[in-house]
Amino acid sequence: MDAKELKFLLKLLSFANYRAPLSQIQPTPKMRSPERNSICRELRDRDLVACREQIKNLTIAPPGKSLLKIDPTNLPVTPEEIKVLQASSKGTISPGKVGLPAANRETVIEGLANRGFIAVEKEIKEVWLTPRGEQFLVEEYQSNSSSANITLKMLTDYLRLMRKFPVNSAYIATPNQAISSTVAAADITAEKSLGKPSDTQILQMIGDLDRKLGTENYLPIFHLWEKLKASMSKDEFDRALYRLQREDKIELSSLQEGMNYTSEQIAAGIHLELGGYLFFIILN
């Protein structure tokens, strides 16, 4: 691992839950965005960080153009997908220009991209340290370099990580909640003893709601909160969703446009310290 990659990881340690917008990670003062993106993707490929990407723009691909020439009644696509193909056939556009509601826009676009009908350009919006990244920093990283590249602030953040996770300890902490295995086990045991739903039950409820409401694996959080608020606090609810995300059972996606939802529905999401809300649940 080179010095820039190490400093990228150490920069993450200064943020709450080791999670931050990529734009706020600056390993060196003069590093440009393309190099930062490249480092982020390299670390992601090694499972040291994870990222949330967002489609920046899209354009129709040759197979998509051919598809539009076929009789619409015979097209192997949905009306929403046709709408995206038609909009993107006029040139490169942003997702907001396809004319679909924000709730299912990305799902439709991703489906077309996966089948090769459109080409998309993605940008990394958020990055966080994975459990594997934490373990690497605490137990595995070594260097013989004597270069003075690490600031005292970086060293302080690293020492805080070390104090939370002694060498050879069991790793449960993740980007969202850095807690020891003992505390995590006690937390889960306490919730079960109070009759709160288990993680398995919550996952089942997410799947049931998604099928019932037809949200195509993009369930707004407020639907689940309405079902669970009688049996758990909002803090417990948020921690349960973060726990499921840490275990790769779900993904949490932020809300980009709130015009289709009430303020109460938006507030049922998970408020981010840097602004905005995690609003959609995606089952893995």
Residue 112 is predicted with a pLDDT of: 86
In a domain, 10, yes or no: yes
Residue partners of 101: CB distance under 8 A and separation at least 6 = 260
Residues 94 and 228 reside in one and the same domain:
no
In a domain, 180, yes or no: no
Residues 75 and 31 reside in one and the same domain:
no
In a domain, 264, yes or no: yes
Q: Could you tell me the two tokens for 70?
A: 């076929």
User: 102 and 260 in contact (C-beta within 8 Å)?
Assistant: yes
User: For strand 49-60 and strand 118-129, is the pairing parallel, antiparallel, or unpaired?
Assistant: antiparallel
Residue 205 is predicted with a pLDDT of: 93
- The per-residue pLDDT string of the chain (284 residues; one tens digit each, 9 = 90 and over) reads 788 888 899 999 988 888 989 988 888 888 888 899 899 999 998 889 998 888 888 999 998 888 888 876 777 788 888 888 988 888 898 888 888 887 778 888 888 888 888 898 888 889 998 888 888 888 787 766 655 567 777 778 777 777 775 444 444 444 444 434 444 444 444 444 446 788 899 999 999 999 999 888 889 999 999 999 988 888 889 889 988 988 889 988 887 666 678 888 888 998 876 667 889 999 98
Give the orientation angle of helix 79-88 with respect to helix 102-114, to 10 degrees. Answer: 80
The Cβ of residue 188 has, within 10 Å, a number of other Cβ atoms equal to 16
Residue 184 is predicted with a pLDDT of: 45
Q: Could you tell me the two tokens for 231?
A: 């049996």
Q: What is the dihedral of CA 142, 4, 47, 12, to 10 degrees?
A: 100
User: 8 and 43 in contact (C-beta within 8 Å)?
Assistant: yes
Residues 138 and 33 reside in one and the same domain:
yes
User: 209 and 189 in contact (C-beta within 8 Å)?
Assistant: no
In a domain, 189, yes or no: no
- Measure the CA–CA gap between 25 and 10, rounded to whole angstroms: 10
At 122 the three-state DSSP class reads strand
Residues 219 and 279 reside in one and the same domain:
yes
Number of domains comprising the chain: 3
Residues 42 and 64 reside in one and the same domain:
no
In a domain, 181, yes or no: no
Domain hosting 17: range is 3-48+130-164
- Measure the CA–CA gap between 251 and 54, rounded to whole angstroms: 13
In a domain, 170, yes or no: no
Residue where a domain stops, chosen among 125, 146, 178: 125
The Cβ of residue 35 has, within 10 Å, a number of other Cβ atoms equal to 13
Alpha helices in the chain (DSSP H): 3-12, 33-45, 62-68, 79-88, 102-114, 131-135, 152-164, 181-193, 199-213, 221-228, 234-246, 263-267
Task: Give the closest residue to 221 by CA, choosing from 260, 188, 253, 175.
Answer: 253
In a domain, 179, yes or no: no
User: 3 and 145 in contact (C-beta within 8 Å)?
Assistant: yes
